Amino acid sequence: MNDELVEIVEGTTKIIVPKGSITEKVPPKEPAFFNPRARLSRDISIIAYSAFWKDFEFPKIFFDGLSGLGARGLRVANEIDGVEKVIVNDVNPNALEIALNSSKINNLKNFEISEDETCRFLSSHSRKNKRASIVDIDPFGSPSRYIDCSIRATMHGGMLALTATDLQVLHGLFNKAAKRRYYGVPIKTEFSNEIAIRLILGCVNFVAGRLDISFEPLFVDHDMHYYRTYLKILNTPEQEEKIGYIIFCKNCGDRYAGIKYETKCRKCAHNTEIAGPLWIGKLFDKEFVKKMSNVKNTLTVDKKCEKILERSKMEAELPATYYTLNEIASRMNSAPIRLENAINKLKEHGFNASVTSLNPGGFRTDCEIDEIIRIFRS
C-alpha cells in the first residue's frame, strides 16, 4: 500500500489525498478513498448548497454521512459563507485523520469529524434541534440502505442529497436487485439514465411515506459514474400521487409516464415495456435552478456547470422522458438532424421542446412520437 499523501486544491479548498488516488486508474480505498473524477459532482454540490442556504433562516449545518477523507465537507465549510457546523462521518479512521489535517491547513473552525456507522451517526442526530439543514449521502453503490436514517436527520425544510453509483442495477442488468433496492425495475432504453433517477426518487418516496414525510426534487444530475439527487424534505405527508410507470413501446417508440400499468401500446397496440413503480413527478425546481445559476458566478467551479444548469433550467417544466436524435433518425431511416433544428421545428409547430441535461443528443417535448417523425420529415 502506498501511504504517501499529497495536497491538491479543489474549488478554493486545500485537500490532502493519497497520491495513489491521483496516479492510479481506480482510486484505492486504503488508506482512504478519494475520486478526483467526482470533482464536477462536488462542484455542483457546492453550487446547490450555496443556492439552498442563500436567504436560509435556520442554522447552516451540514452532515456528510459517508465522507471518505472529507472532500465535500471541507469544501462546504470553506467555500460557503456563514456555515455554522460541518460534521463528516466515516467508518475509516485514516480517512478522518486526513480530513482533520485538511481542515487545519484551511484554518477551518466549523469542521468536526465523527467515526461511526452512517445510520448510527445519523440516528444520533435525528431528534428535533439536532438535525442538519443539509445531509449528504455518497456511498459506494446504492444509497437505499441509508435513506430512512438520512431523512430522519434532515430538518423540516432542509435538503437531502443522495448519490447512487450502482449503475448496472439501475440500468436493467439485475432486475431482482433493482426491485430489492428500489422497489421498482428499470428497462433498457435510450433514456435509461432518467429511469434510473426516477427509480431512486421512487424509493425515497416509499421510505419517506412511511415516516409521513414528503419531498420535492430541486435538482438532479448524472455523469459517467454516478447519479445525484437534491431533495427538499418536508414534514408533511404527500398529497398528490407521484408514483407510477414509464411505458415504452419498442415497436413505434412511444413513451410516457403515467399512473396506470399499460401493457399495450396506445398507438400501435404492440406489447409495451414498463419501468417502475417509480417517481413520475418533476425532477427540477426551475426557480431553484435559476438560483443555482446566479450563485455559481460567485464560486470557483468547472465551466461545465454552466451548461448543465442552462439545460436543466430549460427542461425543468417539460414532461418526463426524452428522445434522442439518433433514435429518431434510425426510425426515419435518415441521418440525424441538428438538435437546434429539431427543437425549433417542434416549437414552430406549437409544441414545447428543449434540450436535456441528461443527454447531449436528447430533447424533451410534449409532442408524441408519430407527430415528431411527421414534423422532422416536413
Ligand X SMILES: C[S@@+](CC[C@H](N)C(=O)[O-])C[C@H]1O[C@@H](n2cnc3c(N)ncnc32)[C@H](O)[C@@H]1O
Where on the chain is the footprint of Zn ion (CB under 5 A)? Answer: 249, 251-252, 254, 265, 267-268, 270
Strand partners, 248: 255, 273
Q: Which is nearer to Zn ion, 200 or 265 (CB)?
A: 265
Q: Which of 10, 90, 190, 194 binds ligand X (CB under 6 A)?
A: 90
**Residues binding ligand X: number (CB under 6 A):** 18
Binding residue (CB under 6 A) for ligand X from 10, 43, 79, 138: 138
Nearer to ligand X by Cβ, of 96 and 325: the residue is 96
The one among 11, 68, 217, 276 contacting ligand X by CB under 6 A = 68
Q: Is 254 in the site for ligand X (CB under 6 A)?
A: no
Phi, psi for residue 166 in degrees, rounded to 5: -85, 65
Q: Which of residues 92-131 bind ligand X (CB under 6 A)?
A: 92, 95, 117-118
Tell me the DSSP string of 189-225. Answer: -TTHHHHHHHHHHHHHHHHHHHTT-EEEEEEEEEETT
Residue 92's binding partner among ligand X, Zn ion, none (Cβ under 5 to 8 angstroms by kind) is ligand X
Sheet containing 255-258: order of strands = 255-258, 243-248, 273-279
Stretch that binds ligand X, among 79-87, 88-96, 211-219, 298-306 (CB under 6 A): 88-96
- The residues with which 243 forms a beta bridge, in sequence order, are 279
Q: From the list Zn ion, ligand X, none, which binds 249 (C-beta under 5 to 8 Å, kind-based)?
A: Zn ion
Q: Which of 56, 94, 123, 139 touches ligand X by CB under 6 A?
A: 139
- Closest contact distance (angstroms) between CB of 163 and ligand X is 7
CB of 102 or CB of 193, closer to ligand X: 102
C-alpha 72/C-alpha 147 separation (Å) is 19
Question: Which residues neighbour 239 within 8 Å (Cβ) at sequence distance 6 or greater?
Answer: 214
Say which entry of Zn ion, ligand X, none residue 254 contacts (CB below 5 to 8 A, set by partner kind).
Zn ion
Mention every residue, 6+ apart, whose C-beta is less than 8 A from residue 108. 74, 77, 78, 86
Q: Which does 247 bind (CB under 5 to 8 A by kind): Zn ion, ligand X, none?
A: none
33 is a contact residue toward ligand X (CB under 6 A): yes
C-alpha to C-alpha distances, 183 to 170, 178, 204, 277, nearest whole angstrom: 11, 7, 10, 7
Q: Which of 34, 111, 183, 288 binds ligand X (CB under 6 A)?
A: 34
Asked if 365 contacts 320 with a C-beta cutoff of 8 angstroms, the reply is no
How near is the Cβ of 23 to ligand X at its closest, in Å?
17
Cell numbers at residue 143, please? Answer: 444509497
| Binding site partner of 22, from Zn ion, ligand X, none, Cβ cut-off 5-8 A by kind | none
Alpha helices (H) along 11-63: 19-23, 39-53
Strand, coil or helix: 180: helix
Of 6 and 269, nearer to ligand X (C-beta) is 6
CA separation for the pair 181, 202 (Å, rounded):
11
Tell me the closest approach of the beta carbon of residue 331 to Zn ion, in angstroms.
Answer: 11
Q: Is 158 in the site for ligand X (CB under 6 A)?
A: no
How far is it, in rounded angstroms, from Cα 39 to Cα 206?
A: 31
C-alpha 76/C-alpha 78 separation (Å) is 6
Question: To the nearest whole angstrom, how small is the minimum distance from the Cβ of residue 237 to ligand X?
Answer: 29
**Chain residues that interact with ligand X, rule: CB under 6 A:** 33-34, 38, 42, 66-68, 71-72, 90-92, 95, 117-118, 138-140
